[in-house]
């Protein structure tokens, strides 16, 4: 079946502009994660959505970053007033619902490479 | 909070030789442990995971890892590598409850030379 898809695959933007990154999770997966992969910081957790629960935003680096998940499926990560340090690969992952005692594999998308000039 | 240290940023190995990629973690609570592989220009793929039980875990592509609680390590091994194993390998941990978000190490670039 189809895996996690992300769009665009590459995005070049000017400093100060807003960008939106999209993630389509695997159908039926209720958990969705965003991570960021950068040269300086490695792979970092950003935000987690699980069903109708309030998202875990503990990894968002600043209030310029926000994300939403509509209808329990597609998610959009928005970065406002982009800065050069936002340049990174943004990875989305989805999994079946997790609960205590069970861990389901997180399936990763190919990522969106964001370059802020 | 958890942290993961991958002791080698790069590991060059000759084809058909054995390899070990080292991973140590720090956590005040019990954790789940994972190894992911990232091939060039691709997303992350799960190689194997340790949740509980046997400390020797076998994964895909002939890889295995051993959980050592006393040394807080989860080293990845393969007895004979192939050119196609050239990739970046990430060790990660997560808490068993809650979001189960992954905390990653810095990665080890494995290069297989013919």
* Predicted local distance difference test score (pLDDT) of residue B15: 96
Mean pLDDT of chain B: 93
* Predicted local distance difference test score (pLDDT) of residue A82: 98
Low-confidence stretches of chain B (pLDDT beneath 50): none
Measure the CA angle with vertex B64, ends B13 and A34; round to 5°.
90
Contacts within 8 Å (CB) and 24+ apart, A59-67: A59/B101, A67/A34
Contact A56 B101 (CB under 8 A): yes
A48 touches chain B (CB under 8 A): yes
Q: Which residues pair with A77 in a beta bridge?
A: A21, A67
Q: Mean pLDDT, to the nearest integer, of A64-92?
A: 95
Q: Which of B34, B47, B100 to mutate to test the interface with A (most CBs of A within 10 A)?
A: B100
Residue of A nearest to B42 (CA): A110
* Predicted local distance difference test score (pLDDT) of residue B107: 96
Contact between B36 and B93 under an 8 Å Cβ cutoff? The reply is no
pLDDT tens digits for range B58-86? 999 999 999 999 999 999 999 999 999 99
pLDDT band per the 50, 70, 90 thresholds, residue A47: very high
Is the pLDDT at A91 greater than 60? The verdict is yes
Q: Give the three-state DSSP class for A8.
A: coil
CB atoms < 10 A from the CB of A62, how many?
Answer: 11
């Amino acid at each position: 079946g189809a895996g996690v898809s992300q769009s665009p695959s590459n995005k070049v933007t000017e400093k100060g502009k807003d960008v939106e990154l999209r993630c389509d999770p695997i159908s039926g997966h209720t958990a969705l994660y965003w991570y960021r992969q950068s040269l300086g910081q490695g792979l970092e957790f950003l935000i987690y959505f699980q069903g109708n629960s309030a998202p875990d935003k503990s990894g968002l680096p600043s209030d310029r970053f926000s994300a939403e998940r509509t209808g329990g499926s597609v998610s959009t990560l928005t970065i406002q007033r982009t800065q050069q340090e936002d340049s990174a690969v943004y990875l989305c992952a989805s999994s079946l619902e997790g609960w205590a005692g069970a861990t389901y594999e997180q399936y990763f998308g190919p990522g969106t490479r964001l370059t802020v000039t | 909070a958890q942290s993961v240290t991958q002791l080698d940023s790069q590991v060059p190995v000759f084809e058909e030789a054995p390899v070990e990629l080292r991973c140590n973690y720090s956590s005040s609570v019990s954790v789940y442990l994972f190894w992911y592989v990232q091939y060039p220009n691709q997303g992350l793929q799960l190689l194997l995971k340790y949740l509980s039980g046997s400390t020797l875990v076998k994964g895909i592509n002939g890889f295995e890892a051993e959980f050592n609680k006393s040394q807080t390590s989860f080293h990845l091994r393969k007895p004979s590598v192939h050119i196609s194993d050239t990739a970046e390998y990430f060790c990660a941990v997560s808490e068993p409850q809650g979001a189960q978000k992954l905390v990653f190490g810095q990665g080890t670039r494995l290069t297989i030379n013919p």
